[in-house]
Structure 1
């Protein structure tokens, strides 16, 4: 859901609540599955958003990542030089040499 949302996609995502009252809930949920989300209108005012579980999980992940980013940024603003430990000292204390690191594959998500 990280792609840009066009105006036409946004306009097509609007669902009047009266469609639920007309027994179209199954059709609306099929549309949500297809498009990822729908915005429910009551008296032409947005009152709720329907999301697929995948879109919801993506949103939660983005929020969590942003929260971690803000925390890291705050810590870096308040960091002093004595808060840092040189890499060589850390490797030495852990009994790791640079060759060990060079021969290790790391996969980041």
Structure 2
């Protein structure tokens, strides 16, 4: 978002007291947050539900990435097999008779 369009998304908090909340909320769209100013300083950022979902998923994915990275760094070279984890052998596609499978 460039600085010119950023200015279009600034709104003073007093605008909410003068019936401007509905107009302000309608201006929020994907990728275009609304920045609420209090005492001429950014106080709150309002984003769309879709943007919120994307950001929280990205945060969760990054936390999982960091955990995986740490586990790999601290690994001692011993890894568990599918059978160790689930107590049953992994599915072997070479043993399966897939000739009779119909896909609709």
TM over 0.5: yes
Equivalent residue, structure 1, for 2:41:
45
**Quick one: which of 82, 92, 96 aligns to 1:97?**
92
Which sections of structure 2, spanning at least 5 residues, go unmatched? Answer: 99-104
Asked whether the equivalents of residues 15 and 41 of structure 1 are also in contact (C-alpha less than 8 Å), the reply is yes
Unaligned runs of 5+ in 1: 104-109
- Could you list the structure 1 runs, at least 4 aligned residues long, displaced by more than 4 angstroms after superposition: none
- Residue 44 of structure 1, CA deviation: 1.0
1:107 is matched with which residue?
none
Distance in 2 between residues matched to 1:34 and 1:63, nearest whole Å: 18
Q: Deviations over 1:7-57 (max 9, x none)?
A: 333232211112212211110010014654211101111111112111111
Larger Rg: 2
Is 2:65 aligned against 1:63? no
Q: What is the total number of aligned residue pairs between the two structures?
A: 93
Describe the superposition over 1:37-96 as per-residue Cα deviations: whole angstroms up to 9, x where unpaired: 2111011111111121111111111110111011001101101112x2578xx9xx6153
Structure 2 CA distance for partners of 1:95 and 1:70, relative to 1, 3 Å: closer
| Separation in 2, partners of 1:73, 1:47 | 35
Q: 1:9 aligns with which of 5, 11, 20?
A: 5
Structure 1 Cα separation of the partners of residues 58 and 52 of structure 2: 10
- 2:54 matched to 1:54? no
**RMSD between aligned alpha carbons?**
2.7
